[in-house]
Amino acid sequence: MRYRSKAPLVCADDLREAARRRMPRFAFDFIDGAAGSEAGLARNRAAFEAELLRPRALVNTDGDLKTGRRFLGQEWSVPFGISPIGLAGIAWPGIDLVLAGAAERNGAPYIASTPATASLEDLKRTAAVSAWFQLYVGRSQEIVDDLIDRAAAAGYEVLVVTVDVPRPGKRRRDLRNGFALPLKIGPRMIADLMTHPKWSLEVLRKGAPRFANLERYAPPGAGARSLAELMAGQSSGRLDWTLLAQLRERWQGRLVVKGIMAPEDAMRAREEGVDAVIVSNHGGRQLDSAPATLHALKQIREAVGPDYSLAVDGGIRTGEDILKSLFAGADFTFLGRPFLYAVAARGTNGANDLFDMLRAELVNAMAQVGRCEL
């Protein structure tokens, strides 16, 4: 199913606006919103908008420009991938498998989330080369250990440990909309659903989002409330350097830590045997006063030196933003919300459309600054 508009959708911002029109407000706000006043979300974008690229003249950039990038031992067709996104199915039913398949087709990494709406095993089968697994270190060490073992058994080679959720962020839009798990369907939400029939019918056809990776850990016959409580247990403040070292010992593949914003934390991660760091403030969804990820990236690159693997997410919306990130010190970049907007706006074709948009924007920017390869 494709979203049809009188005006063509030509960039991530267009996809966001189309998704906003198509989705119920509570669902769109869950994806689009951030912590507090959302100043942190705006700060991420403002940093990229303020960052400039200097055009270069009289450089022969005729022919095919090379957008490939090597990261964590793999060659990727583009220097960007899909960030882990919890409860992505709120944007569009079945979206996790759609995104995994799109990443595989486009030669990009896809980070499967612990609270995905498809199992880590199914996601790995869909994206045999591209899929990495993201882990929340929740309150139950037994569940953490089993998720790690399942990821290894499924063939994952990269484990991404998210470290920036010691507590859930306070997201005002969700509170104002009464959005909580399990969903409480009241008159306002019913009206919201009725005025967005395409989304609502698709949910009825395919079923409401579920926590596919966590269902096996719930008691037999557990209802939605028990599963919601189990998901809430994935936010825990107990993760520290000692526990990270234990995870490093248990996991035999490449280990990535996501959510580092301080240079001293990045340096400690390298000392602890972490293979790469993703500089991230969780898309502004945790701490409203956190600095922009682009600014943190520059500080962290200066601290760790040129040889340590760094990626960044948060606020990236265009191919130019991707190039700015690479020039600022990133080896790789990731995007989250734009891929949700894309599928919500255009259905199953949306993710491929966004890959095409970003790739074309990146190639154009490379030519403007006189770069034939990255």
The answer to whether 130 is annotated as binding is no
258 is in an annotated binding site: yes
**Is 315 within any annotated ligand binding site?**
yes
Helix (H, G, I), strand (E, B) or coil at 310: strand
Taking the C-alpha atoms of residue 261 and residue 287, their distance in angstroms, rounded to an integer, is: 11
Active site residues: 282
Residue 313 annotated as lining a ligand binding site: yes
The answer on whether 291 is annotated among ligand-binding residues is: no
CB neighbours of residue 273 within 10 Å: 11
Does the annotation list 285 as a binding residue? Answer: yes
Q: Is 83 labelled a binding residue?
A: no
Q: How remote is the C-alpha of 138 from its chain's centroid?
A: 19
Q: Which residues contact 114 (CB under 8 A, 6 or more apart)?
A: 84, 86, 134, 135, 136, 147, 213, 214, 234
Q: Is 134 labeled as ligand-binding?
A: yes
Tokens of 121: 């095993």
5 and 15 in contact (C-beta within 8 Å)?
no
**225 marked ligand binding residue:** no
355, 81 Cβ separation under 8 angstroms: no
CB 77 within 8 A of CB 106: yes
- Is 86 annotated in a binding site? The answer is yes
Is 337 marked within a binding site?
yes
Please check if 195 is assigned to a binding site: no
Residue type, 346: R
Asked if residue 162 belongs to a known ligand binding site, the reply is: yes
48, 13 Cβ separation under 8 angstroms: no
Strands (E), the chain: 69-71, 74-76, 80-82, 110-112, 131-136, 158-162, 254-260, 276-279, 309-313, 332-335
Query: 251: alpha, beta or left, given left = phi > 0 and alpha = psi -120 to 50?
Result: beta
Annotated binding site for glyoxylate: 136, 171, 282, 285
Annotated binding site for FMN: 84-86, 113, 134, 162, 258, 280, 313-317, 336-337
Annotated binding site: 84-86, 113, 134, 136, 162, 171, 258, 280, 282, 285, 313-317, 336-337
